[in-house]
A and B are shown apart, each in its own frame.
Chain A
Amino acid sequence: MKILVAVKRVVDYNIKVRVKPDGSDVDIDGVKMGVNPFDENAIEEALRLKEQGKATEVVAVSFGTQVNQDVLRHALAMGADRAILVESTAKLQSLSVAKLLKAVVEREQPNIILLGKQSIDDDAGQMGQMLAGLLNYPQATFASSVKVEGNEVTVTREVDGGTETLSMDLPAVITADLRLNEPRFVKLPNLMMARKKPIETINADELGIQLEPRLKLLKVNEPPARKPGIRVNSVEELLSKLRAEEGITL
């Protein structure tokens, strides 16, 4: 069984991005980048399925420019067997990436495609569902548990107000929630070893897919700030302000 994992390169989640002075986009020049957090959960789950003897090969794929080599190296260092970089300088949006990923799926024929549930830069949360639609595959999003048995996978999903459990025939698409697992740390020797693992590059143009963004980014702004608050010195003062100034009945 083969598992394909989609790994996106994003700004580190600890970093507060700044808007460029002309408002054309965010300024990520020289900013620390890394693997999209949910995609680390996806890689981890694929590796665990391999360690359980369910999967035989874990392949990581990323879409973007050559700089994406670093997130693929990270996936290899975690334990992925090989990696594919689909190279494109276009501004990639979920729909185009879904089409590119579909082309990779057709080539690689994986039994499970694991993705993150959303990217933390666009907060789109669309790719897995789009891919499943394009392939007419079963889908299970926001996974917090994945169990493979024969040609079936049982997934528990985190939904508003509780959980839902589904069973799907393979091949299927699964998107990872943070609670799916605790991704392993990458040790230096693993990083060194990962240098020897292969990263294949495919030119996105050769896949014959229209990549022009359908959503035009017209302007990027800082969100309106909340009006500055005040400090209160005691519970009593807090209550009297809430009652007198905000008119809240407490």
Chain B
Amino acid sequence: MKTLIIAEHNGKQLSPAVQQAVTAAQFWRAPIDLLVAGGNDSIVQAAASISGVNRVLHANAAHLAHPLAEDVANLILSIAGDYQVILAAHSSFSRNILPRVSALLDVAMISDALTIQADNTYTRSGYAGNVHNLVQSTDSVQILTIHGSSFAAASLGGSAEIINIDAPAPFTKTRWISETHNLSDRPALSSAKIVVSGGRSLGSAEKFEEVLAPLAAKLGAALGATRAAVDAGYAPNDIQVGQTGVVVAPELYIAVGVSGAVQHTYGMKDSKIVVAINQDPDAPIFQVADYGLVADLFQAVPTLTAALN
């Protein structure tokens, strides 16, 4: 009985969430293998240095340079027989692959588990986080993604064995064409210690940047946005926080002109401290805020920025 973690990377770096997946996997007290599809030596070394990992399986092949769901799923299936648990941190990468694997193994998958409990029981949220469901799997194999921020990161300092494995033949009916990255000098949203998020009320892309960027710069914060702000073109889509965007849990989350729809709060309500600045005293965001300031953001935010060291 062994546990397999699908180790996500972006071709340059291992995703920090792999460390959280390792902590989650330790629940089963079975040897943990990490699967790296594509990637380079430094990624594999980083994977091998996570404490608690037994082996790192590295599959390298030309067609894994930009791994497709079809190819990674076939790779997982080629080794799945050795594992009773297959998991990954919840992300657009793992959500794309693991359901495909589950269907082919005839297993019902658990998405975005908040807790792992005895007897294949998990909590996960439903209705945009309005409810928590306790579910029990009746399958003999467990396939799941875990909610990163619910698990501490496993420490580094390990030295797992590295094994090269073969990749199955490429799936030729899908071809990778291109990718775009939204480059920013700010910290990555999903792992930032402080997040400043803005809503539709910023009014334009220029104002979004002009009002929020200086505050984010002083705080060393990542920028986030509501779907309304993204849809209006004020902010790029990859910084959308919420049910259908990124889920964050920073030390400090500052929501600026955000109404606090459940679809948004789903993505930020695990933050340690929440500050809300909104001119409407009845805005729902105040229900999840530790500190609420009823004010016009166009005055309050520059004042706040100026008052910081």
Contact = CB atoms under 8 A, between A and B. Distances in A.
Interface of A: 11, 13, 16-17, 19, 26, 93-95, 98, 117-118, 120-134, 137-142, 144, 154, 157-169, 172, 177-179, 213-223, 226-227, 229-236, 238-239, 241-242, 246, 248, 250
B114 to A, nearest CB: 9
Given A94-B108, A123-B243, A213-B108, 15 more contacts: A123-B112, A130-B103, A131-B103, A132-B70, A134-B104, A166-B175, A168-B173, A172-B174, A178-B244, A215-B110, A216-B138, A218-B121, A221-B134, A229-B274, A246-B273
B127 A126 contact: no
A19 B130 CA distance: 9
B130 A160 contact: no
Interface stretch (B21-29, B56-64, B201-209, B290-298): B290-298
Interface size class of B (residues with CB under 8 A): 35 or more
B131 A26 contact: yes
Nearest to A246: B273
B165 interface: no
Given A141-B96, A226-B288, A235-B303, A220 B133 contact: yes
A82 B266 CA distance: 36
B269 A226 contact: yes
Interface string B245-263: 0100001100000000011
- Interchain residue pairs A-B with the least CB separation, the first 6: A214-B108, A130-B103, A129-B99, A133-B100, A126-B99, A133-B103
A124 B169 CA distance: 30
Contacts of A132: 69-70, 100
Nearest to A95: B108
Given A123-B125, A177-B244, A238 B107 contact: no
Contacts of A230: 290-292
A203 B96 CA distance: 30
Contact of A167 (B131, B177, B188): B177
B151 interface: no
Contacts of B136: 215-216, 218
Contacts of A229: 274, 286, 288-292
Interface in B194-238: 219, 227, 230-231, 237-238
Max chain A Cβ within 10 angstroms of own Cβ: one of B93, B227, B293: B293
B186 interface: no
B111 interface: yes
Contacts of B109: 94-95, 124, 126
B76 to A, nearest CB: 11
B300 to A, nearest CB: 6
